A and B are shown apart, each in its own frame.
Chain A
């Protein structure tokens, strides 16, 4: 499966407002819950925040990939959020984070989880793609960026 197959237009959110890591993650999970993507939003949120407390999921260049493997989701879902302004995510390179990919995985899908994270982090290493993601104005535009990257 391609990364884009785990994303849906309703969970591509451009220009969200958030001042802290926790606020950003909470807002994304609320949105996922409204879309029926998680089975227990409160517990799912706890898992993501707990995972973040064990080690930052920022990968540098203003990107973070918060994620959790938990029983509170039925299939792998990726939400993409662009923040209006960068926030501190304890990144190793110190850069504030503006592009967030929140990934939830059910307990069973270990292999799939590994390969999605691997693919996503590879795609995001290309600075051209990061630039495009910062400029995109609509969800379909984001979709086509990924479709091109994975073609």
Chain B
């Protein structure tokens, strides 16, 4: 046992098998996540007290479960503070993040998802610390963002660190990353089951990371208990005794799911559109961009202060049935913009809390409108608030199960589980491939973390020849095709890249939609750029190559299809292999094996 620290020695002594040592590590991760949540929450509350209460003399309403004890002092709101605070907060957080940990920008949960899939679960030690401080500044100064991103990073960062210190395997490190995030989220939202389910669900659009569920639950139980011992065991929101006992209402709940999905897709478009089309193109240092986002937030905030910060107090009022349709419609619309400007500019904070606000206000407005249009059919319109919260997040974040559990745990509204199930599932299905978490992958087979799992054995025994469709007519472009023609092709067809060929019809590269952003050269300059100028080296497979090797290429290069070339002439295209072809052949092979037994 030489060379091991006392902690490691103790650890080795009490852990004999793999699940045992993960269990013990999950408890430690849970303890740290719980304490982290306490410190983060306390610092955030204190900082936002200084800025919003003391400096701005603005006392937003508070949710029933989070009463700060600071009573309004009376007198007018200092509007100029509200206007400038998010910009100054953005400036500070921007300098902090982009100088020391650029990967902590934006919403932290994506950072955790990316570390899980692509970085063997490794998170730099400084990331959680920078993320926590910058988020406290961003949210505390009125920016519209939530706590789930930063707290997920804090817990996940410690899980990653512990796994490295204890020299655990990559798989175990990934599990501890999830356990850490689960503990943090479970604690700070007082939603232990939801937090654990969220971390195993959020990695995929259509899968669960099932094997990490128990460690996530263990960590979440510990972290929640520690947090609640300090800040109380109550619920975040208090709701009237809503019930579901009128099946006709299901029609409206299903409709709410569809509406949430539609708004969710628009939200995602605005959120990432602002980042990619506006802030990304600004010719100023990244450090300064969050300040510009913050200034816009401040401008909206002085007209409508209710869309600043978390807005939980207003959600509470909506659940109490105290808000008008008009107010709720304005609130959810503006919240989409304040959140997008806060986070898409590079500010720091999560997307969960704003999503609850948007979904809740949308649900509340929808419920009241339906109650007016169809009198007598809806027993309590305010019940649509919590259901909207869950459904909206279920659809936009691709987490149908954890969204409904989190909302139930936060409100205690378990009687609404059936409507939540319906609205969340509907919203989840109706958003299709759209998601707020762009690092999510579709299924386990799409994640590098599962490369080497059972699928590979089968794929190793199969070759490309068994899977692809030969074709002499693969869509392609010649290397001298002008850019404008290539752009037109991309808009006419579904492919997101084409093989590029020379005059002898031999492949010389590929051109992808990514490289052909909207550049316009008019008149004589049209042929200034041709396909050859923008192509990248071709990734190809031969018919004799194993499907395992093909799958690796799919995952590595992130293209939906790969040209198949003749094995005698590796520049001659003889067909295309799509990702679906591989999965289909895999399924066929598995069926065959089942029959053989």
Within 8 Å CB of A121, what residues of B? 521, 525, 528
**How many of chain A's residues touch chain B, expressed as a range?**
20 to 34
User: Which residues on the A side are within 8 Å of B529 (C-beta)?
Assistant: 114, 117
Bound CA span A60–B479, Å: 22
Chain B interface size range = 10 to 19
Asked if A151 CB lies within 8 Å of chain B CBs, one says no
Per the bound structure, the CA–CA distance linking A121 and B522 in Å amounts to 10
Chain A residues with CB under 8 Å of B533's CB are: 51, 67-69, 113
Nearest B residue to A114 by beta-carbon distance?
Answer: B519
Judge whether B524 and A54 touch: CB under 8 Å.
Answer: no
Give the distance in Å from the alpha carbon of A146 to the alpha carbon of B556 in the complex: 42
Whether B528 lies near A91 (C-beta < 8 A) is no
Q: A114-B517, A118-B519, A121-B521 in contact; A57/B528 too (CB < 8 A)?
A: yes
Which chain B residues border A67 with CB–CB below 8 Å? 533
When chains A and B are docked, how far (Å) is the Cα of A115 from the Cα of B521?
11
B482, B528, B530: most-surrounded residue (chain A CB, <10 A):
B528
- Say whether A59 faces chain B, with CB atoms less than 8 Å apart: yes
Question: Which A residues touch B461, using CB under 8 A?
Answer: none
Residues 494-516 of B at the A interface (beta carbon under 8 Å): 515
A54 to chain B, nearest CB (A): 4
Give residues 459-480 of B contacting A (CB, 8 Å): 479-480
Give Cα A60–Cα B527 distance, bound, in whole angstroms: 11
Q: Tell whether B369 is near chain A: CB-to-CB under 8 Å.
A: no
Q: In the bound complex, what is the Cα–Cα distance between A60 and B530 (angstroms)?
A: 17
Q: From B479, B517, B519, B521, give the contact of A54 (CB < 8 A).
A: B479
Known A-B contacts A67-B533, A110-B534, A118-B521; the reply to A59 vs B528 at CB < 8 A is yes
CA of A59 to CA of B519, assembled, Å: 16
| A69 and B480 alpha carbons, distance in the complex (Å) | 14
Given A54-B479, A69-B533, residue A111 in contact with residue B528 (CB < 8 A)? no
* Chain A positions within 8 Å of B160 at CB level: none
Find residues 54-82 in chain A having any chain B CB closer than 8 Å to their own CB: 54-61, 65, 67-69
B339 within 8 A of A: no
B348 within 8 A of A: no
Contact B521 A111 (CB under 8 A): no
Per-residue A-contact encoding for B513-547, CB less than 8 Å = 1, 0 else: 00101011101110111101110100000000000
Q: List 12 A-B contacts (CB under 8 A).
A: A54-B479, A54-B532, A56-B527, A58-B524, A59-B524, A59-B528, A92-B524, A110-B536, A113-B533, A115-B519, A118-B519, A121-B525
In the complex, the 9 A-B pairs of residues with the closest C-beta atoms, listed nearest first: A60-B524, A54-B480, A59-B525, A121-B525, A59-B524, A92-B524, A110-B515, A55-B527, A114-B519
